[in-house]
Structures are given as C-alpha cells and as structure tokens.
Amino acid sequence: MLRVAHLILLAWLLPACVPLPPAAPPDTGVSAEENLFQKAEAAYRAHTYPQARAHYGAYLERYPQGKYAPRARLREAEVSGLLGDWQGALRRYQTLLAREPAPDIALKARYGLGQAYFKIGQYQQAAQVLDNLTAADLPRSLWFSTQALLAEIALKQGNVTQAFTRLRLAAQDLPSGDPEWFEDLKTRLVEQAAPAELESLAAMYRDAPLSAALLLRLARLSQEAGRLDEAKKWANTLQERFPGSPEAAAAARVLAGARRSLGVLLPLTGEMGNVGQKVRQGMELAVKGAAVDLVFRDTHNDPGAAAQAVRDLAQDQGLVAVLGPLSSGVAQSAAEAAQAARVPLITLSQKSGLTQTGDQIFQAFITPRQQVRALLRYTLGNLGLKRYAVLSPDSAYGRTFLQHFQEELEAQGGELAGQETYAAGTHDFAPALAALKDAAAGAEALFIPDDSAAVAKIADSLAHSLWKPARLLGTNLIHHPQTSEAQARALEGVLFPDAFFSGDSNPGVQQFVSAYRQQFGEAPDYLAAQGYVVARLLVRLLEAEKTLDRNSLPQKLLTAKTYPELPWFQGFSPSREEEAHLYVLTLKDGRVQMAP
C-alpha cells in the first residue's frame, strides 16, 4: 500500500501544480529573476524538494512582488506538504489566499488548504473548504480531485453513502483525473460498506456504473458466507444491469468456479527457441493439477508481434495476467501494450527500467545490479575484501555491469583500484591485463563480467603472470553447463552469483528439482526455475482468493509473501521488481558449489 499511498499523494497534489514557464535558451538575455525561479522549478521537477523549497524561499526573499511570486508561494506550500510539514503548508496556503491572488492560483490554493486540513486530521474544516470550492467553475482535473478528496474525508468519517455520492461526481471527470486513485477509492469504499449499505446504494443508484462494484461485492460476500442462491441472485442482477462490464465477467467466474488463464509470451521457435522451451517446461510443471490454463504465444523475437499478442490476450476477461517475454528487445513493447490494456505483466527480462512503464508492469528476473550487489555483500562482508579491479568487455553487457559494479562498490564502502576494457570477442587479453596491472596495484579481487570461456582464458593468463589477485569474480554466465574440464580448472575458486542452484539442500529446491526430473527427464536450470516461480506464485495467489482478477492482482503481488515451495522468491519491491534470493557460488574440484 506504500506505493499506492504515494501515488495518491501525488494525485492530490497534481491539481495544485501550475503550468511551468518555458525554459529559456541560455543566450537570450533571461533576467536574473526568471533564472532564479527556473532554478527552483527544475529542483521541483526533479523531486529534490528540500532544494526546491530553498530556491523558492530565496526567490521570494529577493523578489517578494516579482512576476512569479504568486506561483512561488503556491509551490512553497505544495513542497511543504510533500516534505510532510502539513501545518507549514496550511499556514502558507492561508497567507497566499490572504493576498487575493489571481483566480487560477486561488482555486489551487483553496484545494491545497482543504488537503492540508485533511492531512492533519481536521476533517470538518477540510470538508467545508472543499465543499465551498465545488461551487466555483473548476477545471475538470481539479473538479475530479476535489470530489475524490471529499470521498476520502467521508470514508474517514465512516459515511459510506456520502463517499459513494462524491465518488460518482468524481467519475464524471475521470478522464481528467487519476484512474488509480479512483480505483483504490472504489475498492476501499465497497470493502468498508456493510451489506445493508451496499444493498441500499445499489437500489438507490440502479444505473450508475459504480453500482456494478457494489453488486459484485454483494455476490462475493454471499458466496464466501455459503449463501449460493443469494450470490447467484446478485450476480444475475449485475449481469442484467451492466452486461459486458468487467464486474459482470468477474461475477460469472465467482459462480462458475471457472478455470483461470495466464498468457505467456516466449520465444518458442528460432534461435532462442530452446531457451523459451526451458521456461515453458518450468511453467507447465507449476500449474500441473491447478485450475489454471497457460495460453502460449510465440514472440519470434519481434517487438510488434509481442505487443499485438498482449493486446489479443487482453481481450479475454478471464485472463488474469501475462508472463514474459524474455528478451530485452521485445520486453519494452510488450510492457507498453500491457500498461495500455491495464493487464498485469510479469516480465522475465533483465532489461533495466521496465517497471517504470507503469503500475501494471512487474519484473521477475535476475538483473545485473542484483548480481553485483550479492557478490559485493559477500566479498566485502564475509571475506573482508576492500580493493577491487574490473576487467570488462567493451560491449553493452560489459558496460552495464561495469556501471552497476562501480555504483554498488561505492554504496557498500569498497574501493575501485582500477578498471580496463578489452574488445568484445577478443582472444588476446595481454594488453588489457598489462594496462590494468599498472593501474590496479594492491587490488584484492578482479571482477570480469564475461562468459565462462573468456574468464577462463583470462584466469589462465593470470596464472602465468606476476600479478595474481586473491579472488576472481564473475557473473552468472560462469554457471554454464557446457564448461569444459580445462576451463573448470582455470576457474577454480572463482566467485559468481546466480538465482538457482540445484545442489541446494533446501527442501523446496529439492522438491522442484525432483519433480522436474521426473516430468522432463533432465535437470532444471535457472530459466526453468524462474518459469516455475512466476507461474507457481500466480497459482498460489489464485488458489487463495477465488475472485482475484486482473484489477486486484497488482496489489496482491506487491504484498505477496514467501512460500516454502518457492525459496528463491522473496517478494516484490515497491518498484515492482522481484527481490530474489541469490546464491554466491564457486568452482571447486571442477564442480559448482555454494561458496563457504
């Protein structure tokens, strides 16, 4: 709920924002006054609110009657609230209104005043300010936010009927408002309402679209109480009044106990077909015996095909979520299509920034940052290493890991003694090693983000040189089933992270490994394990809540706990990225083992 609360807070503040003045070219003689105000605005847009508050204060001290003074005072009040000083925000809004600013500033300040009263718990004063504001000719977005905040106040006061009335008014301008805030308010309203209140409102507002949520809640409550005839009555009423609505489809599933479906986007043919098949097998094992169907779509490593597949799958109202795709090349287009269709997507790509696409996008795959973070926590914390060197290929993979390694090393208090790059695909590492030797004197560990063959060649070169770092560190590319005996000897003692290790004695791990071997006649790898994790997680959530649908799934995912059968899954972060348990592994006597 932290994420939802944060989004709601931003939604309340949005109507108070003013249009930003256009940024002036650097050489057009912009005045000192405008420069100072623009500096404050830049800090505000960057969400560095302490700096923004200081800059707005400096502007007002120097230009108390300036061109941008009313806007600066409005921003000061907003920023005070954003920083949690709602008493200060209240005083600033009152002072601003006493100056009788222009109407557009005054309307936003009055909304801010009502919001500040609400945040400090003075609900009666907040309701009075906001109710008076509704008599003004408000912009549509401000009308939505004012009515939505009045609904929040009514819920705080326990007045469900009043909250419903306000939410109906907010719905009139939902296209100009915040859909997520609206859906959250609607969910909390129907959950707070007593059955008698739900019935009364559904009878009073027979044709209001919001009544569909009331009828669905009545059907669910009746089913949970074992009153199946009553549940059927409410479901039939819902389908008669609002045919084709998402609530009607959900009610039909409640009564029929229908099988649920999950869309899956994977490369099932072509050069990545073998990779996709591994993930598919893990997913199929996860849903075995469950009332869940997997609907596979071959992405063909084509961004357009992946986006179209998402749109096609989203047409099925019984579909709860989409899993995949794998490759970074198609993940972004799939994420954008899923966000637009409002269908949850759990992507299995390590592409950075995917979850920033929107609130429907989750990511469940080992990322470069997670790898270097786990590796450094182990080597800094367990081994006491302090000085590191990096030798990386000049490729997208190498550059990504180099950046994350540098950032994590600084964050965890280590020291980068030196770093060097080599041409991707080269077989001659001597020049790079010679350059690094001079730059990285005293380095205790050398991190090489490359595949096992390249790291083995570098390790072999180091074995015949005078410079021998105490530890070699790599990425999960070291964990490769085709590593030769000669390469394994060269890699003896190397440390690397991974999100799956079949040799883990954890009962959940061994149960999965045994079931996978029995089903498919081979040992699972990380891809199979991750396919199993995401599909099994969805199965567990759907089994726990029979009425779970795509609208309520994102919040359930954010609050999902660990399960003994899924020891790798540690939940999702507020940014909707999986917090996976990572192993730190090593090679000893030619075999992969957990590092001691």
The pLDDT tens digits for 310-348 are 999 998 877 999 999 999 889 999 999 999 999 999 999
What is the percent of the chain with per-residue pLDDT over 70, rounded to a whole number? 94
Three-class SS of 416-445: EEEEEEECCCCCCCHHHHHHHHHHCCCCCE
Give mean pLDDT, residues 16-42.
Answer: 66
Runs of H (alpha helix) within 344-451? 368-376, 396-412, 430-439
Q: What is the CA radius of gyration of the chain?
A: 29
Do 101 and 70 contact (CB within 8 A), yes or no?
yes
pLDDT at 7 over 70: no
Give mean pLDDT, residues 437-444.
Answer: 86
Tell the burial category of 7 from Cβ atoms under 10 Å away from its Cβ (0-12, 13-18, 19+). Answer: middle
Q: For residue 577, which of 405, 361, 375, 368 has the smallest C-alpha distance?
A: 361
Q: CA angle, 77 as apex, 109 and 144 as ends, to 5°?
A: 40
Q: How confident is the model at residue 414 (pLDDT cuts 50, 70, 90)?
A: very high
Quick one: tokens of 118?
Answer: 């609400």
Give mean pLDDT, residues 24-40.
Answer: 74
DSSP string, 169-198: HHHTTGGGS-HHHHHHHHHHHHHHS-HHHH
Give mean pLDDT, residues 134-153.
Answer: 95
**3-class SS shares of the chain: helix, strand, coil, % to 5:** 55, 10, 30
Q: How confident is the model at residue 36 (pLDDT cuts 50, 70, 90)?
A: very high
Q: How confident is the model at residue 4 (pLDDT cuts 50, 70, 90)?
A: very low
More confident residue, 301 or 150: 150
Q: How confident is the model at residue 14 (pLDDT cuts 50, 70, 90)?
A: very low
Q: How confident is the model at residue 469 (pLDDT cuts 50, 70, 90)?
A: confident
Q: How confident is the model at residue 104 (pLDDT cuts 50, 70, 90)?
A: very high
pLDDT of amino acid 459 = 94
Give mean pLDDT, residues 337-366.
Answer: 95
Q: How confident is the model at residue 361 (pLDDT cuts 50, 70, 90)?
A: very high
pLDDT 10s digits, 163-214: 999 999 999 999 999 988 999 899 999 999 999 999 999 999 999 999 999 9
- Dihedral, CA of residue 291, residue 292, residue 293 and residue 298, to nearest 10: -160
pLDDT of amino acid 544 = 87
Q: How confident is the model at residue 256 (pLDDT cuts 50, 70, 90)?
A: low
Q: How far is CA 198 from the centre of its chain?
A: 33
pLDDT of amino acid 1 = 35
In CATH, 264-363 is 3.40.50.2300:
yes
pLDDT of amino acid 10 = 40
Task: For the chain, count helices (H), then strands (E).
Answer: 25, 14
pLDDT at 6 over 60: no
Q: Where are the domains of the chain?
A: 2-192, 264-363, 368-498
pLDDT of amino acid 421 = 96
- Compute the distance between CA of residue 146 and CA of residue 83 in angstroms, rounded to an integer: 21
Q: Report domain 2-192's class.
A: mainly alpha
Q: How confident is the model at residue 409 (pLDDT cuts 50, 70, 90)?
A: very high
pLDDT of amino acid 269 = 92
pLDDT 10s digits, 554-567: 999 999 988 999 99
More confident residue, 4 or 593: 593
Do 393 and 449 contact (CB within 8 A), yes or no?
yes
Fold identical between 2-192 and 368-498? no
- What backbone torsions phi and psi does residue 205 show, to the nearest 5 degrees? -120, 70
To the nearest whole number, what is the mean pLDDT of the chain? 90
Do 303 and 332 contact (CB within 8 A), yes or no?
yes
Q: Report domain 368-498's class.
A: alpha beta
pTM confidence score: 0.60
- Compute the distance between CA of residue 362 and CA of residue 439 in angstroms, rounded to an integer: 41
- What backbone torsions phi and psi does residue 558 show, to the nearest 5 degrees? -65, -25
